[in-house]
Amino acid sequence: MNEIFTCWRKFTLNENIVRGRALERYATELSRRIVNILKEDEVREEIATKNKVSYELIADDLLDDLEWVNSVVIHVNVAEQIDVIGSYEFTRSTTDEYRNESDIIINITIPDNFSDSDFSELIPELKDTLRHELEHSAQPTEMLTQEIPEDDVWDTIASANNYYNSRSETEAHVAGLYKRAKMLNEPAVDVIDNFLTDIYRTGIQSGHDKKEVSNLISRIRENWISYLLMRYPGADIGDYEEYKAFDIEETI
């Protein structure tokens, strides 16, 4: 077993919480409803005139099943490229009793000339992000409160390692990226590698040594793919070679 897994603490799971593969349909349905809103003429007009729009998704029929999700809030802004970033917002000092006050925030950027043809790029990212945040919504409170705040992730290589190789982020990233891979009909390992290339760039932009960041990415990759194969044994992994190093230069 991957040595990182042996260091993971065991947490008590709340049996009343929807988790695992059951969350797949929620990510799919929430994505469908968000896309339908973005297709509305009124919303498109507001984006065109104000370059942004925000709304709370009306989805009580879904959220009533998700005990630790109070709402899903969408922020859309105009930018050069399509991007989706999410967060699961909860009070770090909270207990299970108050997790039902937590929100999923989805930040979407789209170009000002966004058209229906661009949904083929947006939807896989959106489903990935929703699946990632839904995974967090089902994780034990104690696990999440131990996570390094996102603003502090790249303070050091050690902090980035602790963040990306934590149990909470490994589970959430793999669940989301696997969802994206299925949507794109691409090997899950390829989708993971593309995402890790972006993490590599972020590490370099944060001022860290290229070799240290490259070594970190290799450790993350080994951990995430080991977890992928354990959680989704039927996943399409393409030409993945278990002991092949991740060559950053080839992917950039």
For the chain, the first-to-last Cα distance in angstroms comes to 31
Please give the C-alpha separations between residue 7 and each of 38, 145, 156, in angstroms, as whole numbers: 43, 17, 21
* Tally of CB atoms within 10 A around 65: 14
Asked if 41 and 154 sit in the same domain, the reply is no
Asked if 85 and 182 sit in the same domain, the reply is no
The last residue of one of the domains, among 86, 117, 143, is 143
In a domain, 15, yes or no: no
Per-residue model confidence (pLDDT) at position 250: 54
* Tally of CB atoms within 10 A around 163: 19
Per-residue model confidence (pLDDT) at position 71: 96
* Alpha helices by DSSP H, 119-187: 119-138, 141-145, 157-164, 167-184
Asked if 130 and 183 sit in the same domain, the reply is no
Domain range spanning residue 26? 20-143
Q: How far apart are CA 252 and CA 248, in angstroms?
A: 6
The last residue of one of the domains, among 120, 143, 166, is 143
Asked if 135 and 37 sit in the same domain, the reply is yes
* 106 strand-pairing partners: 74, 86
C-beta of residue 246 within 8 angstroms of C-beta of residue 197 = no
Residue position matching structure tokens 């996570």:
147
β pairing state of 71-78 and 103-110: parallel
The count of domains in the chain is 2
Asked if 138 and 200 sit in the same domain, the reply is no
Asked if 32 and 106 sit in the same domain, the reply is yes
Asked if 75 and 52 sit in the same domain, the reply is yes
Per-residue model confidence (pLDDT) at position 243: 45
Phi–psi pair at 105, nearest 5 degrees:
-110, 125
Residue 114 DSSP label: -
Per-residue model confidence (pLDDT) at position 68: 92
In a domain, 10, yes or no: no
pTM of the predicted model as reported, rounded to 2 decimal places: 0.90
Please give the C-alpha separations between residue 68 and each of 42, 100, 136, 226, in angstroms, as whole numbers: 31, 4, 10, 28
Asked if 77 and 159 sit in the same domain, the reply is no
Asked if 46 and 128 sit in the same domain, the reply is yes
Asked if 194 and 117 sit in the same domain, the reply is no
Give, for all 252 residues of the chain, the pLDDT tens digit. 566 565 555 655 555 566 678 899 999 999 999 999 999 999 999 999 999 999 999 999 999 999 999 999 999 999 999 999 999 998 877 778 888 999 999 999 999 888 899 999 999 999 999 999 999 999 999 899 888 888 899 999 999 999 999 999 999 999 999 999 999 999 999 999 999 999 999 999 999 999 999 999 999 999 999 999 999 999 988 877 654 555 655 555
The last residue of one of the domains, among 143, 160, 183, is 143
Per-residue model confidence (pLDDT) at position 95: 79
